[in-house]
Amino acid sequence: MTQPFSKLTAIRGMNDSLPGASARWEQLEALVRDWLKAYGYRNMRTPVLEHTRLFTRGIGEVTDIVEKEMYSFTDSLNGESLTMRPEFTAGMVRAAIEHNLLYDRAQRVYNMGPVFRHERPQRGRYRQFHQIDVEALGMTGPDIDAEMIIMVARLWKLLGITDVRLEINSLGQAHERAAHREALIAHLEKHKDVLDEDGLRRMYSNPLRVLDTKNPAMQAMADSAPKLFDFLGDESRTHYEGVCARLDDAGVAYTLNTRMVRGLDYYNLTVFEWITDKLGAQATVCGGGRYDGLIELLGGKPAPAVGFAIGMERLIDLWGQFQPEQTPAECDVYIVHQGDEAQRRAAVLAENLRDTGISVIVHAGAASFKSQFKRADASQAAIAVILAGDELLAGVASVKMLRQSDQANESMQQQVPLNDLVAFLKDKV
């Protein structure tokens, strides 16, 4: 006997976006594309699946992402280890190297889409989530670092978001981090008694990340630890001051946070985060910085780079607190009909209207006028066109304005000759 099929649901932490909510996503994506175009960024799309070694080398083997959060598996065909991308930057750099994008000029590129991390699902933190990823490849100097931060400030203005603050830091260069690392390890060794299991494990492999602890018992130790900023040489400080000067020029307020290290190993010099108190524990909406060594690390010719990523779920959540969501109309015109001939005429009319850029829904199947008008109203269409009976034989259609507030000076319903209908509706939509 066949066993009953159990109901299937989405995987925990991987969420459906239904038509009403997806409209908000589309609105945001369109706005983001225009915003990026204003700064000369072009779209680049990379695979969801990459070789695992891309991330272990690019992100760092002792990061939380690589150690705990990646979705990796062995390809049954060739035995290779593959990983669903946990972030965009490594894949974007891999593509730039593979296709020699930096051969003759620097590149401004962006990507949008899903990324995957095996985390405990909570508000603003999901196992499949979406990012806006923006990368400036082949550019050095504080000017492009500052431009990236300033362009994010413009995005907040476009979205009407005000309750965000900017924190910045400099991670210096490799030799400066090496000197700081020695001092930091010595500090951690003196405070072993307060280190938790994660801190003890990372004390020698990735001591900088110990300072990023959220453990209250370790905060005093972290606050008193040697600061990487104090180990910066003249060149790194000049770069940092150049970023700050340009932010000042643009009127973008910021705070130096010497504890900020970000969660990935590839950063150097400028790092930054945009933070809000509106999203509970998941305070960071946007984060990024400079990663001048990553291109060479992944096999390319040495080249500078800087970028940032924005979590789209968090951004939509935050945006909704400043700009309440409005349900968009499914179409401009909804065509109601009665009888087989009217239904066929409705299909032809709809195609003619779509030729002019008007969006149209023709009621599917046969139903009473009451039922069809109920569906037309639910669609949020501005106008209903009625094709039926004697009016159709007379060569006219009834046009009803469904949103009286939008058509205050129009008659609620009027007859329009079929030959004039397309032009009439084009003028009203």
pLDDT per residue as tens digits for the range 189-237? 898 888 888 888 888 888 887 887 778 888 889 889 898 889 999 999 9
Q: Are residues 270 and 146 in the same domain?
A: yes
Q: Are residues 73 and 133 in the same domain?
A: yes
**CATH number for the domain that contains residue 68:** 3.30.930.10
Q: Are residues 402 and 270 in the same domain?
A: no
Q: Are residues 255 and 392 in the same domain?
A: no
Prediction pTM value: 0.86
Residue with tokens 């730039």: 96
The rounded distance, in Å, linking the Cα atoms of 50 and 329 is: 39
pLDDT exceeds 50 at position 407: no
Highest mean pLDDT among 58-72, 182-196, 235-249, 403-417: 235-249
- Interval 344-370 mean pLDDT: 94
DSSP class of residue 365 equals S
- Interval 18-37 mean pLDDT: 92
pLDDT exceeds 80 at position 384: yes
Residue 380 in any domain: the answer is: yes
Burial class (CB in 10 A: 0-12, 13-18, 19+), 140: middle
Q: Are residues 167 and 263 in the same domain?
A: yes
Give me the helices (H) in 131-195, please: 142-159, 174-190
The rounded distance, in Å, linking the Cα atoms of 177 and 184 is: 10
Q: Which of 264, 292, 322 is at the close of a domain?
A: 322
Token readout for 428 is: 């009203």
Q: Are residues 25 and 151 in the same domain?
A: yes
Residue with tokens 């990026």: 36
Helices (H) and strands (E) in the chain, counts: 16, 16
Residue 214 in any domain: the answer is: no
Burial class (CB in 10 A: 0-12, 13-18, 19+), 395: exposed
Neighbouring C-beta atoms of residue 401, cutoff 10 Å = 18
Dump the DSSP string for 52-82. Answer: HHHHHHHT-TTSHIIIII-EEEE-TTT--EE
Q: Strand, helix or coil at 307?
A: strand
Residue 88 in any domain: the answer is: yes
Q: Residue 104 belongs to what domain range?
A: 19-172+232-322
DSSP class of residue 304 equals -
Positive or negative, the CA dihedral 191, 193, 197, 201 is: positive
Phi/psi-derived region of residue 326, left when phi > 0, alpha when psi is between -120 and 50, beta in every other case: beta
The rounded distance, in Å, linking the Cα atoms of 217 and 214 is: 9
pLDDT exceeds 50 at position 248: yes
Token readout for 74 is: 């062995």
Highest mean pLDDT among 20-24, 106-110, 415-419: 106-110
The rounded distance, in Å, linking the Cα atoms of 413 and 353 is: 19
Q: Are residues 247 and 357 in the same domain?
A: no
pLDDT exceeds 90 at position 4: no
The rounded distance, in Å, linking the Cα atoms of 399 and 178 is: 75
Neighbouring C-beta atoms of residue 213, cutoff 10 Å = 18
Q: Are residues 367 and 313 in the same domain?
A: no
- Count of residues making up the chain: 429
Q: Strand, helix or coil at 277?
A: coil
Token readout for 169 is: 């830091």
Q: Are residues 126 and 248 in the same domain?
A: yes
Q: Strand, helix or coil at 43?
A: strand
Specify binding-site residues: 87-89, 117, 131, 135, 262, 266-267
Residue with tokens 């003249």: 234
How would residue 405 be classed by pLDDT, with cut points 50, 70 and 90? low
Residue 131 in any domain: the answer is: yes
Residue with tokens 């509706």: 425
284, 250, 289: which is closest to 168 by C-alpha? 289
Specify binding-site residues for L-histidine: 87-89, 117, 131, 135, 262, 266-267
Residue 98 in any domain: the answer is: yes
Token readout for 41 is: 């960024």
CA dihedral in degrees (308, 313, 318, 319; nearest 10)?
90
pLDDT mean across residues, the chain: 90
The rounded distance, in Å, linking the Cα atoms of 185 and 401 is: 73
Region of poorest pLDDT, from 239-253, 319-333, 345-359, 404-418: 404-418
pLDDT exceeds 70 at position 411: no
Token readout for 366 is: 């046969």
Q: Are residues 259 and 162 in the same domain?
A: yes
Q: Strand, helix or coil at 334?
A: strand
- The H-or-E segment that residue 116 falls in is strand 107-116
The structural domain count of the chain equals 2
**CATH number for the domain that contains residue 409:** 3.40.50.800
pLDDT of residue 194: 86
Q: Are residues 266 and 349 in the same domain?
A: no
334, 328, 342, 409: which is closest to 374 by C-alpha? 334
Residue with tokens 């923006």: 134
Residue with tokens 């951004």: 315
- The H-or-E segment that residue 222 falls in is helix 219-223
Q: Are residues 300 and 396 in the same domain?
A: no
The rounded distance, in Å, linking the Cα atoms of 237 and 350 is: 64
Residue with more model confidence, 258 or 286: 286
Residue 210 in any domain: the answer is: no
Q: Which of 296, 322, 348 is at the close of a domain?
A: 322
Q: Which of 269, 293, 322 is at the close of a domain?
A: 322
Residues 45-90 have pLDDT tens digits of: 999 999 999 999 888 776 777 878 899 999 988 999 999 999 999 9
Residue 137 in any domain: the answer is: yes
pLDDT exceeds 80 at position 406: no
Region of poorest pLDDT, from 204-218, 246-260, 404-418: 404-418
pLDDT exceeds 50 at position 409: no
Residue 64 in any domain: the answer is: yes
